[in-house]
Structure 1
């Protein structure tokens, strides 16, 4: 049972949010495979008395459409209760609610106290622990791209850009334009206000190349903490958009002929004892670990694409000359390559994975990217020669459709060993159930071009 003054141990930002106010409700949440927040909302008085709550393990067998993958273990589909325990370090405001509400991320365990192996946050923790067992501290910095669009109430209707302050639809091809950012000023103001109330530090907001497309950069840090923030950010951005009669979407490719939305992941690795960046040597040069990490990404990312690009729509983003990589070349300060080494000093040397879509679960996307780099480190893989020039001129290295990506994922034994065999089994079953459901849908393109012509 929690102490009666449990709120005094809350993170500083949560305490500041509640100062002089009475807490009404606590949302107990956990991310499912797509990254949707599942859980329960309970009165604050009840939360103060509970150390855990239950949800059925079937939340991890559910598809994005609400269907089910036959992914239960040998006990069968009996929807066993998991024990969900709060991580109070994640307690944060829900500033868009009508009353005073906190959100708390929970971790999932079975009845014996073992972590549920296909819970996304547990998977990321597992991968981080593999690094720490070797004296390495993984550090990441995610970038979040998304679109602000007009409300779309009819799935048969194409998604359109939102209306800006000027009364005109958001314009495309205005990357880094401050005028374009100003068009979304009221939405961005609420994003900043919500983020401040939740204790999140935004490194910057920029206009991207798509109509109504924005990017938010987060400060680098612990992978689990940053995945928590992306999980929370998706919700707060949606809530900010709804206040201004528009939608925020994290689809990889929501609008035809526009760039897609990525979750670029910057990676570095520190020595757990000294804090030194292990990608840089004593004289500031690039180390073997730096090259092995890149080699691991090049070799293992094709098998991980099904996690980084989890939906049929995800593969529409990998289009030549549309600001998304089509191959696994690596280069220095080259945004056409799938793996980029940004300009930096030796202390900040890092590797950027540009393949993950913003539609991926942040815990799983970061875990998969770290897993590929980890395998490169322990296998001591050497990367291909650095690419120079426009990588869009080369051939594609990425599976073109989800079905092929899942076949590669299913055969990736080394990747399964890092992410967990149970996770790999459940993820594949759920994703195949989604893919099979999609294949039953007849699209407008098929009706237009095949109905009377074949």
Structure 2
């Protein structure tokens, strides 16, 4: 690290420097999240990265569906695949500890030729929402919870997904929530998750067994929304790599196994006053403030319009099942896991609101942006919530869209939400998601062949 050429290495975040101590950096992965949250980019030799201040990718990466098809979202100039300018955010530099050589990953931000942020790049969408908070004198704080399944390797899409084989030689069992024995079944995978996270400088607040067979939850420490979204983005790859080392898959599908609970990305929110550093959800005497109730009101009023971002695939809507560990409505309650909006037990300083509707299949930048946007509209519009729900919210009426088409209709009608997230983003997102939905509607499912082929 003594040469002038390598001096940039001394400015890396401390965990990245610790990872490279005494070693020669071979490669840098220059990455950016597309609409689904997949890492796109280029891998370059470390010597080349040291000489470049940006690189190019075509803007068409944001017009691509999860299947690799394309939405007609390029705008008036047509599908010319204009190059974007991607600039590194060196604060995101982190190890890729599963690689065979010494590699760093660096998240980049997307700009056009006039140095304006690309409005439909997911990280830019979240930055836009955070900036709106800061213009009001607020600092949003989030804490995501990540649920996922460890499953047996699945090479045939027509075959049902099965739980992974545990350390005991038996398939992972369901209905073992919070069981330490169940966690021990996945010990080697969890050990690698911890090791990779440590090498990348990420702090895990805890790992627990959830209710599904092979379903785990990782909680992250609260903090800046963009930084936490970066961590979830990195964690998805980290967890997949740890699983594949042990002959299994990690899946973040919202509902991978028919009779098991779905996987959520619960998002906890609080808001800090930039001048005082105090949580604006709590008053001087520790009571709940108008801002607290307005945030809840914003979630209740506006979450339907962004369900298409929190539940971005046709599979996502299979998670919203009554009595199956996922909300079916937008009721709110204190310490009540049956409601879509939960107020956890906490002291005044850590008073927060939990959104339980987001699926783990959502893009973390877009999921957090959508959730914060709802709260922002509630606070700026001084929107009051409905009366607190007491008891089992599954006894209430359903008010969450049950399929992608209905969710996209609500999204398209939400002009106030578009102004918060960015009108051009809303345009592109809708086009790409409708293209994806049309692709799905062309597929004939096993259910149709089984029940309709000879009976209708």
TM beyond 0.5: yes
Runs of 4+ in 1 over 2 A off after TM superposition: none
Q: Does 1:51 align with 2:61?
A: no
Q: Secondary structure of 2:51's match?
A: coil
After superposition, give the CA deviation of every residue in 1:303-355 in whole Å (9 maximum; x if it has no partner).
00000000000000000011000000000000000000000000000000000
* Distance (whole Å) between structure 1 residues aligned to residue 62 and residue 136 of structure 2: 30
Deviations 1:257-302 (A, max 9, x none): 1000000000000001211000000000000000000000000000
Secondary structure class of the residue paired with 2:295: helix
| Match among 54, 63, 66 for residue 65 of structure 2 | 63
Q: 1:48 aligns to what SS in structure 2?
A: helix
Q: CA separation in 2, counterparts of 1:410 and 1:40? A: 34
Mapped to 1, the partners of 2:6 and 2:111 lie a distance apart of: 25
Question: 1:280-319 residue pairs with structure 2 within 5 A?
Answer: 280-319=282-321
The reply to whether residue 187 of structure 1 matches residue 185 of structure 2 is: no
Tell me the secondary structure at the aligned position of residue 258 of structure 2: coil
Paired residue for 2:401? 399
Instruction: State the number of aligned residues.
Output: 453
Distance 2:5 2:296 in 1: 48
1:427 matched to 2:429? The reply is yes
Q: Which residue of 2 aligns with 1:212?
A: 214
Equivalent position SS for 2:294:
helix
Pairs within 5 Å for 1:2-151: 4-151=6-153
Aligned to 1:450: 452
Are 2:362 and 1:360 aligned?
A: yes
Supply the distance in 2 between the matched residues of 1:311 and 1:134 (Cα, whole angstroms): 33
Map 1:379-418 → 2, pairs under 5 A: 379-418=381-420
Q: 1:340 is matched with which residue?
A: 342
Gaps of 5+ in 1: none
1: distance between equivalents of 2:169 and 2:37?
34
Please give the root-mean-square deviation of Cα atoms over the aligned residues, in Å: 0.6
CA offsets per residue over residues 58-108 of structure 1, 9 Å max, x none? 000000000000000211100000000000000000000000000000000
Matches for 1:162-173 after TM superposition, within 5 Å? 162-173=164-175
Distance 1:37 1:298 in 2: 32
Distance apart, 1:4 and its partner CA: 4.0
Q: What is the deviation of 1:118? A: 0.1
In the alignment, the residues of structure 1 paired with residue 414 and residue 188 of structure 2 have an alpha-carbon distance, to the nearest angstrom, of 46
Counterpart-to-counterpart distance in 2, 1:408 and 1:256: 27
> Is the partner of 1:47 in helix, strand or coil?
helix
Counterpart-to-counterpart distance in 1, 2:143 and 2:434: 30
Q: CA deviation at 1:364?
A: 0.1
